[in-house]
Amino acid sequence: MTTLDATRPAERATKARSAYIAGPVYDWVFFLLPPIASVIVGALVSGTWLATDRFWLAGKRVTWSTLLLGIVVNAHLVAVFVRSHLNPDVFPRHKFRFLVVPIAAFAAMMTSMWAVVIATVLVTFWDVYHSSLQTFGLGRIYERNQGNDPTALRRLDLGLNLLLYAGPIVSGATMLAHFQKFELFEDVDVLFLTEIPTAMLSHQRHIAWAVIAFGGLFLAYYVRSYVRLARRGHAVSFPKVFLLATTGLCSIWAWGWNPFGQAFLIMNLFHAVQYFGLVWWSERRVLLQRLRLQQFRLGAPIAAAVFACVTLGYGALAEITSDGSRALWSLVQTVALMHFFYDGFVWSVRKRQI
């Protein structure tokens, strides 16, 4: 099948379903509006005491905005274990990955400074790739729900999301904040890698123009490909178009210019909200069963409260205490790495796993 193949209209009719994932209200609250809402939050927080007043906590100076964001980010990272380890259909398929790999990663970081440095740098850049895949995945679900072939132009969608996330980072105002992590290689005496931030900074102008040129050509090809596909019967998904457009503009504005000095808050906040929304929508029945609340009238709210308290509790522990202990730090990095790793195969529209 070519990339332009689409499901025939008659076939789509037999697969009719809501264009939304959980429902219009739920989707707009948890999936579609969070990018715009996060920009508004960033604007409101900028310049206030939440972003400017620093205080000491657990041996480091923080602001309320960075502290709260760190808690939410760490909380969403651990939320993947509801899908991976509690879901009785998912866990048996990947026992080795779920049991052996995290133990091996934790042990490596506890015994090797090389593992510590590599994990720190890997988490930084894997996070960018992972974030782009989350938007990509939501877009694929919207394509399927529209009655389209979920594999049609899949690679183009993947390329677009990578461009929208990584492009503004390597060419914009937050580039150095990401690439400075390479300076940690000084701790293992690999000095040539510590020069990467300086090299990136000195060539950033050329990189920016290259990204703009390539990005413009790619967007033109992307739109042309979808127009051709639509003429062959492919139904346009409004939720997907809205999601990609708002996320792309948000990424370009936040990572590229960082106008409020709140790029990390803006981008990580909406990503975490979307992920919480996805996990709850997908795994709420599993949580109800595991907590034995399915027979209770208030079972769902209680399960949601337990889910929020446990994940946010871990988030607070990870954000406040991880820097003071190598064991806790290694645990937090392991959770982050497993979040990125597991998300690559526990959610799949193409394999009908969601």
| Residue spans of the chain under pLDDT 50 | 1-15
CA 41 to CA 73: how far, in whole Å? 16
**Ramachandran area for residue 233 (φ above 0: left; ψ -120 to 50: alpha; else beta):** left
pLDDT tens-digit readout, 257-292: 998 899 999 999 999 999 999 999 999 999 999 999
Backbone angles phi, psi at 186, to 5 degrees: -60, -30
Query: What are the two backbone dihedrals, phi and then psi, of residue 56, each rounded to the nearest 5 degrees?
Result: -90, 135
Q: Which pLDDT score is estimated for 18? A: 87
> What is the reported pLDDT for 58?
81
Per-residue pLDDT at 29: 98
**Residue 4: its pLDDT value, please?**
38
Q: What is the pLDDT of residue 175?
A: 96
Instruction: Quote the CA–CA distance of 296 and 315 in Å, as a whole number.
Output: 28
CA–CA gap between residue 229 and residue 249 (Å, rounded) = 24
Q: How many CB atoms lie within 10 A of CB 194?
A: 16
Q: Which residue's structure tokens are 């796993």?
A: 353
Q: What is the pLDDT of residue 22?
A: 95
pTM comes to 0.92
**Quick one: pLDDT at residue 6?**
39
Tell me what pLDDT residue 260 has.
85
